[in-house]
Structure 1
Amino acid sequence: MFDALEIVTTVITGLMVGVEFSVAFIVNRIFKALPEEAGQAGRAHGGRMLGALMPFWYITSVVLSGVWAVAGWDREGAGLVIVAAGLLIVSVLMSVLLLVPINNRSVTWTPENRPADWKEQQDRWDRYHYARVGVIVAAFTLLVTAIA
């Protein structure tokens, strides 16, 4: 049963990392290459879709990592799992404090109502997102290492 917990936690967290990595290094670059209105509309739509899904994914990863840390307290690699869970908590805090406020504004933007600084806000979101991706990649790496 413990092996199943390790695998499920690692797979769910790894898939989340893959999606967020893709957003950072593929999807948003595609949107930036599109004509301005199309790129902004694509980001708004993506923000609505992923904004509805990602909170559950992040919380699930945190909860599963926490359960793993508690259940495997006396096992080898427990320290790595604890640090990974801590990093996932940091990523949730980053999301709530830095990324979600920008996302909540940008999902409503259209070419007619977007603010004058919309590009700067998107660039700020991207910078925060790159940092968050670094945090969750580190957490995922620790989870994988804890299994080995």
Structure 2
Amino acid sequence: MQNALAVVTVVVVGMMVGVEFAVAVFVNPILDRLPDDSRTAAHSDGARVLGGVMPYWYIGSTVLGAIWAAAAWGGAGAPPATAATALLAVSVAMSVLLLVPINNRAKTWDREGKPADWRQQERRWNRYHYLRVGVLVLAFALYAVALDR
């Protein structure tokens, strides 16, 4: 049972990391090359769509990791699984404190209703997102180490 839980956790977290990595490295740079109105519309739509799904994915991944770490307690895989789960908790905190406030504003932006500093807000969101992706990649790597033990 613990092995199945470990595999499910690695797959769920791995897919989440892949989505967030793709947003950071591929999707946002492509959107940033669009004309301003199209760019704003695309970012706003992405903020609504992913903003509706990702909270459940992040929290679900963290819960799966916590269950795995508890089930593995005392075993060789427990320390990396616990550290990975702690990193996922950090990524949730980063999301709530740093990224969600910008995301909530961005999802309301349109051609007529975007603030004067919208580009700066997008750049700030991207910087925070790159940092969060780094935390997620490290968490995923630790889960892979835990799976191997």
Fold agreement, TM-score > 0.5: yes
Distance across 2 between alignment mates of 1:9 and 1:63: 9
Structure 1 match to 2:138: 138
Q: Which runs of 5+ in 2 are unaligned?
A: none
Partner of 1:11: 11
Q: State the match for 2:47 in structure 1.
A: 47
With structure 1 as the length reference, what TM-score do the two structures score? 0.99
Aligned-partner Cα distance in 2 for 1:147–1:51? 30
Q: The residue matched to 1:18 in structure 2 has which SS?
A: helix
Percent identity (aligned): 54
Name the residue aligned to 2:34: 34
Superposition RMSD in Å: 0.5
Deviations 1:79-111 (A, max 9, x none): 001100000000000000000000000000012
TM-superposed deviation, 1:59: 0.3
Between the aligned partners of 2:135 and 2:61, the Cα distance in structure 1 is 13
Q: Hey, what's the Cα distance between the residues in 2 that align with 1:19 and 1:37? A: 25
Alignment of 1:1-148 (within 5 A): 1-148=1-148
Unpaired segments of 5 or more residues in structure 1? Answer: none
Q: What is the number of residues matched between the two proteins?
A: 148
**C-alpha distance in 1, partners of 2:100/2:126?**
12
- Calculate the TM-score normalised by the size of structure 2: 0.98
Q: Equivalents in 1 of 2:84, 2:107: separation in Å?
A: 30
Aligned-partner Cα distance in 2 for 1:111–1:25:
25
Provide the secondary structure at the position in 2 that maps to 1:135: helix
Instruction: Give the CA deviation at 1:58.
Output: 0.2
SS of residue in 1 equivalent to 2:56: helix
CA distance in 2, matches of 1:18, 1:132: 13
Aligned to 1:100, the other structure's residue is in SS state: helix
